[in-house]
Amino acid sequence: MAMELLVTFLLFTTVAFPLSWLASTSQAASVSTDQLALLSFKKFVSDDPNGVLKSWGRAASNVSYCQWHGLKCGSRGRRRGRVTALELPGLNIYGIISPALANITFLRSLDLSQNHLRGSLPHEFSLLQNVNHFDLSFNTLDGEIPPSLSRCSNLRNISLGFNNLQGGIPEELGILVDLQSLSLLYNNLTGSIPADSFQKLQKLEYLSLASNKLSGVIPDSFGNLSSLTYLLLNNNSFTGTIPPSLSVLSSLTKLGLMGNYLTENIPPSLGNLSNLLWLDIGFNNLTGTIPRSLGNLYSLNLLAVSENKLTGPIPPQLGNLQNLTYLSLEFNNLTGHIPDSLFNLSSLQLFSLQSNNLQGSLPKEMGNSFPQLEYLHLGINEFHGSIPSSLCNSTNLRDLLLEYNQFSGTIPPCLGQLYGLFRLGLVVNQLEARSPTDWNFLTSLANCSILSYLGLAANNLGGTMPSSIVNLSTTLQVLYIDYNIIEGTIPEEIGNLVSLTQIAMGGNLLHGTLPVSVGRLNMLQDIEFEQNKLEGAIPASFVNLTQLTQLRLAENLLTGNIPPSLANCPLNWLDLQGNKLTGPVPIEILRMPTLSNFLDMQDNMLSGALPSEVGNLINLQQLDISNNRISGEIPKSLSECLLLAYLNLSKNLFEGSIPPSLSNLRGLQMIDLSYNNLSGNIPEFLGNISGVYLNLSFNDLEGAVPKHGIFQNLSAFSITGNSRLCGGISELRLPPCPNKVSQKHHSQKLKLIIAPIAAILCCIILLSLLALRFSRCRSTRQSQFSVALMDKYPRISYSELARGTEGFSHTNLVGVGSFGSVYKGVIHYDGKATSVAIKVINLQQHGASQSFIAECQALGHVRHRNLVKILTVCSGLDSAGNDFKALIYEFIPNGNLDGWLHNPSRRDGIKTTLDINQRLGIAIVVASALDYLHNHKPTPIVHCDLKPSNVLLDYDLVAHVADFGLAKFLRDDANSSQNSTSMGALKGTIGYIAPEYGIGNEVSIQRDIFSYGILLLELFTAKRPTDDAFMEGYSLHQYVEMALGHKTTEIIDQSLFLTEHSGAFKSDITNKEETYIACITSVLTIGIQCSKAETTERMQIAHVLRELHRLRENVNQ
């Protein structure tokens, strides 16, 4: 027995001793592995400005690495002495992440956020089986997210936001079933969300994929993520609808979907998210109304639905949201009044309703309702009445923006009580100031010590410029007081406002001299003093304005020379037209490399030659020195100004020939050299510049007029008053050029024709003298027509348009019109990918360039929600080096009215047609747009081609008037009964052109009213005026007029009476249908009145608008 015990003991000691030795040896090896991995990490660090890794010793150091900065080690079991946490956030460490960190096998937390680490994520990190917290956010990491990261099965938190990661979201992440937080925001991730794998993440509480490039739809399966509290998908390219399944996420507190391309309605079921604190679905394409059910979100702090296409009234139920601090409904198409219930939201800090169609006045006690309000944005609506003085009681106000409304009365003098006011915007209203006391508000604003923006432009502020303006805060950066009726002088102390970057006082009645103290405002970027009665010289002190980019002093009484010292200012826009400036054009001005947009010195008394240094303006787009006394030859160096689109040298004393070098200026859209002393032949190259308007009138040119290019189109050029020209197209009626025959034969022939030629020349001279005044006026108007083109719109390159349309692919072709083709595309505009319509001008088509210019002119001067908006323009060369012009519009997705009337699409096998309310809405919107155009100030605009195919419909079937290619401005003295004659031959569409158009090519607003009448008839009969039935003098007007009354139901578009189920016409007429028929009869009567042959018998558009509004109210009762 004793022997057996001895043997057992010996065996145990023999085995146990090696095992304990092996265990201690293994632990020591693992410790050494952790230390080596850490030293490898340190080796990969390229810069440690804070020295945080100095404590990290060498491998042979006696100091335990557990004491190194940013490390934690385990204290028991297998983790004892092993690294469990590496946390070095926000230490400005530079370098690459060492793959050796994957050898720290007991690591639970890795936090290297807020550093400057670059490179890709090591695939070896998949070995970190114990890691549960993984934070590498706020670095500059690139490459893709390794799918192998999904092997780290204990991960609870992944934070990789604010890097440059690319590629898709690995679907393998769906196997991390314990994942609670996934943050990938602010990267460059692409592709769609892996829906099938994500629905397995039942423990996920926080998901942020915001600010990437993700696309596709938001998965319905997100409704299965029952633990989700935060869902942030902002600023991506998601399409489709907001999944109603999100409404079952009862724990959700924050939902952010803004900045995508989501469409259709806001799901009313979102009102079930009772714990929601934050709802942001702005900057999408959502339609329909704001659901009343959102008023059930009683915990909500933030509600933002801005920048969508929402319609209808603001739901009064939003007044239930007593915890709301941020309410943004701006940039939609909301209508009606502000519900009274919203004035009970006493916690509001931001209240923004700007850019809608809201009406009514503001309650007098409004300011008492919002004690916490900081931002009030109500601009671009139709509010009227006075500005409530009670707003002065909202003492926290920082922004008070009420621009572009119809507010009237005086400005409350108590606004100076808003000591924290930062921006006050009241531009484009009807506010008044007549007496000095009406200006007390300006005196009180001196108390607003941080005021940065003051916008008072385009009101009815009158009287003398208050001297208190110079007491405004020295923090003021923007001062707009232009286009009022203010008199007096500009105070010299204006130079006290040392922070000004923009000052606009143009369009008033100011006199006196320009204050020298303006030269002290060395932060100024924009000076606008045009259209006043300012006199004296341009101050030499302007030399100090080293940041000035725009100087507008046009249409004053300024005298003296143009200061050469202005060349010290980085100007890109210099407008000195319409003054009494003398002396030469300063060479220094012509050497300014920054002068790129606009140089206008017309209508002065400048003299001398145009220096050859003008060729230094290689980026200049518009040059106008017309109506001066400039002499000598046209500089050949002008050919260096390759971006020049507008060149006006008319009404000067230029002599010599037209330089052949101007042939390099292939982007020119207008050349005016009229009223000079130019001689020689008309260069052939001028005919090759496509899309240009050329005026060579009243010079001394001789020889043959070319017959190619623009010289084939009489409306594209003018050569009147050059008595020695011959040949050209027959419409010019010039004498033929002489043949090369013998001198004897020539002399004999000359004797036979000299008498009639002399008579013809006398007639030409007489007619020219009679037309001189008209030509001068016309030249002035033409000299300004492309200002809007190059000034109003940003430019976009051909290459970007090609990319956005897949090389102008046929699949993106939307339609083909008279002057070009329209493509659907996507461009980068206003900071995000934007769907647009791109009209590519066919420059080979006669009149196309003029159409391009006319459209830019018209839409550059107007601003109306129902006129299609030009976003940008392209004018340059295509990839083959050919001239290229295109207009880029906002994309209106629902086609045109012509298609809806005559080629209705099918959805679910059923034809989609317009009901009576939709048609009335279209009629009202088009009438409203015409009313705006015809009453546009200062110059009314005539569309000249109104027809259903030029009326586009958006998602809500709201109409937008398009295609201003034939639009014309009426003369200043034109009104509803006066006409304006076009620059060239007018066009239009047969069937919609007023009959008086055939007599004299006259343009008047009556032309649009006739077209509108025909459009009304077509809208409710679905018959085109060009249908085969209307032949030989029988018209759509007569067809409707003869049927009104006894046969009205026979001519009405029968789809208006189709039942929803049977599709058959009802024989029994209900009371509702009687109302419909009565309404349609009245509308057709309006159409008949508008399309009368006699202009004096046609209805005024304002009367039409009132009647249509009344009819719609009757239908909806």
Q: Which residues are catalytic?
A: 945
Which residues, other chains included, contact 1012 with Cβ-Cβ below 8 Å and sequence gap of 6+? 926, 927, 930, 946, 1090, 1101, 1104
Classify strands 820-829 and 832-841 as parallel, antiparallel or unpaired.
antiparallel
What torsion do the CA atoms of 815, 818, 821, 827 make, to the nearest 10 degrees?
-100
Taking the C-alpha atoms of residue 843 and residue 555, their distance in angstroms, rounded to an integer, is 35
- What is 624-664 written as a DSSP string? E--SSEEEEEPPGGGGG-TT--EEE--SSEEEEPPPGGGGG
**Both tokens assigned to 1075:** 């109302």
Taking the C-alpha atoms of residue 504 and residue 521, their distance in angstroms, rounded to an integer, is 14
> CA nearest 300: which of 335, 253, 356?
253
Classify strands 717-718 and 693-695 as parallel, antiparallel or unpaired.
parallel
- Exposed, middle or buried by CB within 10 Å (0-12, 13-18, 19+), for 465? buried
Measured in Å, how far apart are the chain's first and last C-alpha atoms? Answer: 113
- What is 588-609 written as a DSSP string? TGGG-TT--SEEE--SSEEEEE
> CA nearest 492: which of 514, 521, 463?
514
Classify strands 311-312 and 285-286 as parallel, antiparallel or unpaired.
unpaired
Q: Which amino acid is at 140?
A: T
Residue count (the chain): 1117
Its sign, for the CA torsion 484, 488, 489, 492, is: negative
Determine contact, residues 890/811, Cβ cutoff 8 Å: no
> CA nearest 901: which of 953, 837, 962?
953
**Both tokens assigned to 402:** 């009420």
Give the residue carrying structure tokens 């039409």.
1104
- Exposed, middle or buried by CB within 10 Å (0-12, 13-18, 19+), for 755? exposed
DSSP 50: T
**Both tokens assigned to 724:** 């020695």
Taking the C-alpha atoms of residue 261 and residue 240, their distance in angstroms, rounded to an integer, is 7
Taking the C-alpha atoms of residue 184 and residue 203, their distance in angstroms, rounded to an integer, is 17
Taking the C-alpha atoms of residue 646 and residue 786, their distance in angstroms, rounded to an integer, is 7
Coil, helix or strand at residue 248: helix
Q: Which amino acid is at 470?
A: V
What torsion do the CA atoms of 890, 919, 819, 778 make, to the nearest 10 degrees?
-90
Classify strands 254-256 and 278-280 as parallel, antiparallel or unpaired.
parallel
**Total Cβ atoms within 10 A of residue 234:** 20
Taking the C-alpha atoms of residue 919 and residue 28, their distance in angstroms, rounded to an integer, is 85
Determine contact, residues 705/726, Cβ cutoff 8 Å: yes
Q: Which amino acid is at 1036?
A: L
**Total Cβ atoms within 10 A of residue 29:** 9
- Exposed, middle or buried by CB within 10 Å (0-12, 13-18, 19+), for 566? buried
Give the residue carrying structure tokens 């140089």.
599
Residue 680 to residues 407, 655, 703, 724, Cα–Cα distance (Å): 60, 10, 8, 10
Residue 987 annotated as binding site = no
> CA nearest 553: which of 619, 599, 608?
599
Taking the C-alpha atoms of residue 514 and residue 505, their distance in angstroms, rounded to an integer, is 11
Specify binding-site residues.
839
Specify binding-site residues for ATP.
839
